[in-house]
Structure 1
Amino acid sequence: MSFKFFDKLSQDFSELLNDKKECNVFIEVGKEENKKSFTSHSVVLRYRSTYFTKELENIVTNENNVKIIVKPNISAQTFEIILKYIYGGVVNIKNIETKTIYELMIVANEFEFGELTEKLESYLVESKASWLRTHLSPIYYSIFDSNKCNEFKGLKQFYNDVISKHPNLIFESENFTSLQEAALISILENDNLQLEEIKIWDYVIKWGIAQNPTLPRNLEVWSEENFKTLKTTLQQCLPLIRYFHISEKDIWEKLKPYRNILGMQLWDDLHQQLIFPNQPVKSLVLPARIISNQKINERISTIINKEHIAEISSWIDRKSTIYSLENVPYKLQLIFRGSKDGFQPKTFWNICNGHASTIVIAKVAGTDEILGGYNPLVWDNSTEGIYMETNDSFIFSLKNGNIQNSILSRVKNNRYALYYFDSDSQKARGPCFGYSEFSVRSNVFDFTKDKQCWCIYGPNYISYYERSIRTINEKFSIVDYEVFKIVKKQ
């Protein structure tokens, strides 16, 4: 039988951290005015981390028999937490910003503290999913910026699930072509990537050409060497394209110009399939991606029903009567759902960026109210804070529960139809129609937590829409909200 006194052991070693006697390592972190020095003991560092074992072996002691380690890219706050972990095995993240927790995970990984890295990674995925979605681009790029392919598996899987549903977040981002090859491969391997295969091909070619800026812009003047260069760059990506699930038209228009990088066997097999579709081919045939095709009669929304969709469709087309359920000319494609993607305002701007012809639907907390707005314009998260002009936007309240009649309110001053916030304001502000005639916002960065959403009501306010969609001027929070793209049925 063993008696274990780990709490006392942790306490004693934590106190050792504050004991300056026999300290023989100085660690300098931070830059300029934020620079700070910490003292430590080499024997503790070496036995706690293989990283420090290697680092200390390569550093010569100075005249005071002290070794100095310089880490300018690590903040003092983060390193202080790391030191407490090294000495006492305790990490307290209560009241620490999520950004700092993420930075702590990165530093723990650099110092080869596997258990701490995994614990922090799990915490972020399980408890801070909304924050992770909001910061998708910088984090996704950074976790692949490593020579160790087995790092951050949980985060990579989390982001690949998000990207599979919202591929435009990566493929339409400004820095797409700087995406690491390992990250691109990870995305291409996903069977659930919600993107047409020919579009995936286009993006892969775009990425490959961007890695070779000396390639001629005009494909017609490419030499055999040029195609060889592109093929070498894309050698890990090309086998992941589902070639046999691309239409005949796209094969001839999009693939044929690059047939030199496909290989003769694959090109011959593609050609054969078009002529003799039932004959076997020698090339590997990957299964088609699993694309979700939602139908209008399915419950694609957790807030609105088929009747609501027919009513909104009628308003879009400015019809005097409501479409019958059989004659609705539009279908809805879900872009975003708060209960799935998070309620942080910035998440809305990141996911909806680049989408046009959308409706925003919100369920008010504590009432039967369903509020919303139609935006025919493209959502843009890169503006400096401007009003957007359109004649076709409108806001509405839908009949539901005790609410017997819907309210439609069209824009009356088209110069102020919507307001697109600057990057800093997007942290607290979501979609805004007019002068807060329908505005989703939160001062605590979660639309469900504080009553800051607003639909102005009364004669004391400027109004850019025909009428108010509420009969009270009280601010409110929401239970859930959704954004759908309006798509014309074929």
Structure 2
Amino acid sequence: MASNTNINSDKSEAQLYEVLLYKKKDIIAIQKKLSIDSDRKKGPIEIRNQSKKGKILKDSFGSQDGFTPKQFHELCDDICNTIIFIKVIVGGYNPITWKSSRTSCWGKTNNSFIFSFTNKNFKDAIISVVINVNHAIYYGTNSGPYFGDDIVVYNSQDLFGTDYYRIRCRNNYYEKKIRDSDDYFSVEDYKVFQIVKS
């Protein structure tokens, strides 16, 4: 279980609502735009709403694309303020940069959070802020996005395989459990955004 190094719940919850544009109709409009533009398979897409925009770093990562840790790091290393949506929907926000590290290490931040949507009602989102800032983000060359040990995407064969097929959500370094089960589940697709303030 995580030690209570830092709790920054109100700030992170406010960040989530800001980042996700907290109006349900806006989220639906963005989802529609993403699915339309994703089908076109074009380059980076910009989502604009009021004074916020998000740039999709890669419009679709999924098992059909053979999304690998190497590909994740090629696209996301040295980029901060990323938010990841994993179809189910679970995800996380990382305000610091992603890194490929030959020796595994932890990224420290008190502004990271993870989330899940239990249904289509945005108000029912579970938001879990980091409570152990020393273990907020995990860096490793052979792994993709790790939010503490709370959201981890695995290969179906071994822990650090070549493709991502399964995901596991636990409760270790973040405030709340975002899924009822600790069991593995399949990853169909996920998207990585960089949040940019205009």
TM-score, normalised with respect to structure 1: 0.29
Q: Which runs of 5+ in 2 are unaligned?
A: 1-11, 27-47
Question: Distance between the aligned counterparts of 2:191 and 2:83, measured in 1?
Answer: 8
Q: Distance in 1 between matches of 2:61 and 2:95?
A: 21
SS in 2 for 1:349: helix
Instruction: Find the aligned partners of 1:399 and 1:315 in 2 and give their Cα distance.
Output: 19
Tell me, yes or no, if the aligned pair for 1:397 and 1:408 is still in contact at 8 Å.
yes
1:445 to 128, 139, 162: 162
In the alignment, the residues of structure 1 paired with residue 122 and residue 153 of structure 2 have an alpha-carbon distance, to the nearest angstrom, of 21
Alpha-carbon distance in structure 2 between the residues aligned to 1:314 and 1:480: 25
1:345–1:441 CA contact under 8 A, matched in 2:
no
In structure 2, the CA distance between the partners of 1:356 and 1:341, relative to structure 1 (3 Å rule), is: farther
Task: Tell me how large the CA RMSD over aligned residues is.
Answer: 2.8
Aligned length: 156
Q: Which amino acid aligns with 2:128?
A: S
User: Who is 1:344 aligned against?
Assistant: 68
CA contact (8 A) 2:13 2:127 kept: no
Q: Which has the higher contact order (CA 8 A, sep 6+)?
A: 2
Check if 1:430 corresponds to 2:144. yes
Q: CA deviation at 1:454?
A: 1.0
Q: Is the 8 A contact 1:355 1:485 kept in 2?
A: yes
Matches within 5 A, 1:262-341: 315-316=14-15, 323-324=22-23, 325=26, 329-336=51-58, 337-339=60-62
C-alpha distance in structure 1 between counterparts of 2:130 and 2:121, whole Å: 27
Structure with more strand by fraction = 2
Secondary structure of 2:54's aligned partner? strand
2:89 is the counterpart of 1:370: yes
Give 2:53's aligned amino acid. K
Percent identity between matched residues is 38
SS in 2 for 1:338: strand
Partner of 2:8: none
Structure-2 change in CA distance of 1:415 and 1:400 (3 Å): same
Q: Partners in 2 of 1:481 and 1:318 — Cα distance?
A: 20
Query: 2 CA distance for matches of 1:466 and 1:486?
Result: 23
Q: How does 1:70-469 map to 2 (within 5 A)?
A: 315-316=14-15, 323-324=22-23, 325=26, 329-336=51-58, 337-339=60-62, 342-363=66-87, 369-401=88-120, 405-421=124-140, 423=141, 426=142, 429-434=143-148, 436-442=149-155, 443=158, 444-448=161-165, 451=166, 453-457=167-171, 463-469=172-178
* Maintained 8 Å contact 2:86/2:190: yes
- TM-score using structure 2 length: 0.68
Shift of 1:341: 5.5
- CA shift in 2, pair 1:347/1:401, >3 Å: same
Name the CA shift for 1:394/1:402 in 2 (closer, same or farther; >3 Å).
Answer: closer
Distance verdict in 2 for CA 1:314–1:395, change over 3 Å: closer
Using the TM superposition, give the Cα deviation of residue 456 of structure 1 relative to its aligned residue in structure 2, in angstroms: 1.3
Q: How much has 1:384 moved relative to structure 2?
A: 1.9
Change (3 A) 1:470 1:329: farther
**CA separation in 2, counterparts of 1:403 and 1:317?**
11
**Which of 470, 484, 488 lines up with 2:179 in the alignment?**
470
SS in 1 for 2:56: strand
State the SS of the aligned residue for 1:415: helix
Q: 3-state DSSP class of the match of 2:185?
A: coil
List runs of 5+ in structure 1 lacking aligned partners.
1-312, 364-368, 458-462
